[in-house]
Amino acid sequence: MKSLKVIVIGALAAVLLAIPFSESAAAEAAKEVRIGGSIALSGPYGKVGKMYADGYTFWLESHNYTMYANGVPYKIKWFMYDDELKAETTAKLTQKLITDDKVDLIVGSYGTDEIMAQAAIAKRYKKILPQGGAAAMMINDKYPNTVFQVVGSGPSYNKSFMDFAKTLIPMPKNVAIIFIEDAAHIEIGEGAARFGEKLGFNIALKEYMPLAVKDLRPVIAKMKKMGNIDLVINTGADHNCISLVESASTLDFNPKLIHGGHLTLSPAVKKTLGKKCDYLFGITWWVPQMKYPSYNFKNGNTKFRNSSELDEAFRARFGYPADYHVLLAYTILDIYAVALENVTDKNPFDEEIVQRQVSTVDFVNEYGPCKFDQVGRNIGKEMAVTQYQGKEDPQYKVVWPLKIRNAEPQYPAAAWKDR
């Protein structure tokens, strides 16, 4: 294993001064909660991992590195390691967090294999694992109420998008889906196909690509040769979305609609593609226009009024807009804070108490509703459909659902030569 990259942030706030000292004062000074996890901070998914890491940091800074249990403040000592999106590394780091760093609470990694590896270790030590980095159904099926899945399940990702696509005139009849060979991405693609077929779409092509694929020109050439593809759906990450658009423009492939997937709003997409983002659609569990209200903590440890205000503060702090990955990380720490604020037990971070409290949370924060079903999946969230619009400096707009739409969809897309 490569040398560990670790960020250790936060420490005990108490500074012992030359004043009379009591046992009760010592007890107050020692109140600390250790929280940590790992994420891919390097490699092809490093950009995504950074958004999670920034989301965690933003919560910690916004809450002054403090979490409350029954009104008592606990200073947070924070650990975040780079697992490089390698399941074996994730498992080793999770073991280290529990046995060496003595963490009380764990936050989830990113990727199906990584979460599965992390969950196996967490379960062994009776820890729970709130996570937003993997949507595969098999995770909660194998580790019910060990893993608490904040993001929606893979098959549901494209339901809103297919409902939206059905309303377009002319309807984009023939659909090609690019599957990335990862359990969650396959579920995302199969969900799109299943919803699409029910709505009358023709799934003309299913193309399976390796997880680390970088060049989509061969599959783009194949779709262009078919001559009838109206809608292309990407199930992969931001770099897959970028390759899809760049390959389509290079080969002059002009479908009516390109759906870049759930990472279309990643800052890397806009930064890399620039003007080519125009007309590009995507889906997201969260955009600031949703204006979900902040959770009102009883201890007053609430920083923002709603998701829009949170986004403004995040932009000012990190220099890029928040997206749903940032909010997933932020919400994972909110889940622990909400679950534990009313705990009256002597040891609020006891594993059984934490599991019981988290399994029964039912609240709304800047991300939206959070309530878990019997195996630990968040229920009730609906995806929004977004589109980049504008020739010179494309900006993303919400085009679905109608209740939060702030722009009409631009459709069908202009040919590359006319942009």
> Can you give the CATH number for the domain in which 408 is found?
3.40.50.2300
Q: Which residue has the tokens 């590394």?
A: 89
354 occurs within a structural domain: yes
Neighbours of 207 (CB within 10 A): 16
Q: Are residues 13 and 148 in the same domain?
A: yes
311 occurs within a structural domain: yes
Q: How many domains does the chain have?
A: 2
Q: Are residues 294 and 275 in the same domain?
A: no
185 occurs within a structural domain: yes
Contacts of 232 (CB under 8 A, 6+ apart): 175, 176, 177, 178, 223, 244, 248, 255, 257, 258, 259
Q: Are residues 269 and 331 in the same domain?
A: no
The predicted pLDDT at position 30 comes to 56
81, β-bridge pairs? 6, 38
Q: Kindly report the pTM of this predicted structure.
A: 0.76
Q: Are residues 145 and 21 in the same domain?
A: yes
67 occurs within a structural domain: yes
123, 146 contact by CB (below 8 A): yes
The predicted pLDDT at position 10 comes to 44
Contacts of 308 (CB under 8 A, 6+ apart): 288, 289, 291
Q: Are residues 235 and 263 in the same domain?
A: yes
How far apart (Å, rounded) are the C-alpha atoms in residues 148 and 140?
8
Can you say how many angstroms the Cα of residue 402 is from the centroid of all Cα atoms in its chain? 23
Q: Are residues 128 and 25 in the same domain?
A: yes
Q: Are residues 187 and 73 in the same domain?
A: no
Q: Are residues 363 and 409 in the same domain?
A: no
Domain-ending residue, one of 348, 371, 394: 371
How far apart (Å, rounded) are the C-alpha atoms in residues 326 and 333?
11
Which structural domain range is residue 226 located in?
Answer: 156-284+383-418
Q: Are residues 126 and 198 in the same domain?
A: no
Distances (CA, A) of 387 to 68, 205, 227, 414: 40, 23, 24, 14
385, 165 contact by CB (below 8 A): no
296 occurs within a structural domain: yes
Distances (CA, A) of 32 to 20, 67, 69, 150, 314: 22, 9, 11, 25, 26
pLDDT in tens, the chain (419 residues): 444 444 444 433 333 333 333 344 434 545 999 999 999 999 888 999 999 999 999 999 999 999 999 889 999 999 999 999 999 999 999 999 999 999 999 999 999 999 999 999 999 999 999 999 998 899 999 999 999 999 888 888 899 999 999 999 999 999 999 999 888 889 999 999 999 999 999 999 999 999 888 899 999 999 999 999 999 999 988 999 999 999 999 999 999 999 999 889 888 999 999 999 999 999 988 888 888 899 999 988 888 999 999 999 999 999 999 988 999 999 999 999 999 999 998 899 999 999 999 999 999 999 999 999 999 999 877 789 999 999 999 998 999 988 888 899 999 999 999 99
How far apart (Å, rounded) are the C-alpha atoms in residues 334 and 79?
17
Q: Are residues 241 and 330 in the same domain?
A: no
Q: Are residues 139 and 168 in the same domain?
A: no
Distances (CA, A) of 27 to 24, 30, 32, 38: 5, 5, 10, 30
Q: Are residues 230 and 96 in the same domain?
A: no
Neighbours of 198 (CB within 10 A): 11
393 occurs within a structural domain: yes
